[in-house]
Amino acid sequence: MSDQTFNPSGPGGPTCISLIGVGTSSGAVKDFVTPSNTLTQDTGAPGGPTGSGTYGPDFRLYTKDSFDEYGWTLGTPPSFAGGTGQPGVTAFIAFNTIGSPGASSSFYLYEQNATTLGSYATIAFKASVGALTPIVTAGSTNKLTGTAQGAGTAFTVAASGSFGASNTWSLYINGALSTSSALVNTGATAPIGRIGGQNGQGNLGGSTGVGIAYAAFFNSVLSSTDISNLHASLTGGGAFGLLTPGTPSTQSHSQFFLDNARPNLPALAAAPLAGLGWLIERRNRVPREEWQQDKNSRLFLPSWVRK
């Protein structure tokens, strides 16, 4: 199979500026909207770059220390269209798993770089021992608070809203509206250059890391129906409403047999029946006494094949 490909006709597809996930065939972490947007895992990550779970393959974040995270840097950072009068933004994140936090902290999921938050509203988590609460923040005092999620649970979080002063933003959990409120100071344009936490602000912890099946970003406010459909499309095996499944392999079938010790014999790679037909035709030109019964396969094969 080849990797799945971006489907611009999916929910919110025309305004999707980045869709990060794992190719179901290649196993590579990639941006399906912009394939040239190379993603690089932080050096020193204690686990593999990818894993799998309820929604299919995922890419992993890991705890670095009490207030840092091993994440991913985007080679070609996408930017939300910031500023008053713009159509707004949506971020949709599908998690296979999040480890149990060991201490209270706040964790920002994506940002401009490892030390700088963008001025756009950001999906984050408020963590206490054993509990993770999704939030949306555009600053230390501007938050939407969702429902706490248990460690190791697959779930989705989406945040959507417009830029400018006191515009309404909404937080969705598992495709359903959790809360809405006004957020201020969300108007500037800034790139999304990193996924995996602003270092110095905490981490999500857990020995197995954080498994993200998909992180999708849009230059529009998606409708509640679109967000519900995106969540419902996560049926496992890498399925997602913004992707088209990979195409079947076009590689030839395995050889019927190939005797490398006898280079004068043709390689019967076209199909088993074609190979069998060649054997039958060959039998008609071989003296009958050279044919012997193979007791294991119960086929009559010539001695020059069996040796």
- As given in the structure block, the two tokens for residue 42 are 């932080």
- As given in the structure block, the two tokens for residue 269 are 């790679």
Per-residue pLDDT tens digits for 137-169: 876 667 889 888 877 789 999 999 887 766 788
What does the alpha-carbon distance between residue 253 and residue 237 come to, in Å, rounded to a whole number?
25
Residue 21 pLDDT: 98
Residue 7 pLDDT: 96
Fold held by 5-244? Jelly Rolls (2.60.120)
Decide which of 286 and 104 is more confident: 104
Lowest-pLDDT range of 103-107, 141-145, 263-267: 263-267
Decide which of 254 and 94 is more confident: 94
Asked if residue 83 lies in contact with residue 189, where contact means CB atoms within 8 angstroms, the answer is yes
Residue 135 has pLDDT above 50, yes or no: yes
High-pLDDT (> 90) share of the chain, %: 42
Q: Write down the pTM of the prediction.
A: 0.78
Asked if residue 99 lies in contact with residue 206, where contact means CB atoms within 8 angstroms, the answer is yes
Residue 140 pLDDT: 64
Asked if residue 216 lies in contact with residue 19, where contact means CB atoms within 8 angstroms, the answer is yes
Decide which of 103 and 127 is more confident: 127
- As given in the structure block, the two tokens for residue 250 are 């076009």
pLDDT band at 274 (very low <50, low <70, confident <90, very high): very low
Q: Domain boundaries in the chain?
A: 5-244, 252-307
pLDDT band at 273 (very low <50, low <70, confident <90, very high): very low
What does the alpha-carbon distance between residue 126 and residue 231 come to, in Å, rounded to a whole number?
22
Per-residue pLDDT tens digits for 279-289: 444 444 444 44
As a whole number of Å, the CA-based R_g of the chain is 27
Per-residue pLDDT tens digits for 33-75: 999 999 999 999 998 999 999 999 999 999 888 788 899 999 9
What does the alpha-carbon distance between residue 256 and residue 254 come to, in Å, rounded to a whole number?
7
Residue 24 pLDDT: 94
What does the alpha-carbon distance between residue 211 and residue 215 come to, in Å, rounded to a whole number?
11
Per-residue pLDDT tens digits for 182-208: 887 666 677 889 998 777 777 776 667
Computed over every residue of the chain, the mean pLDDT equals 79
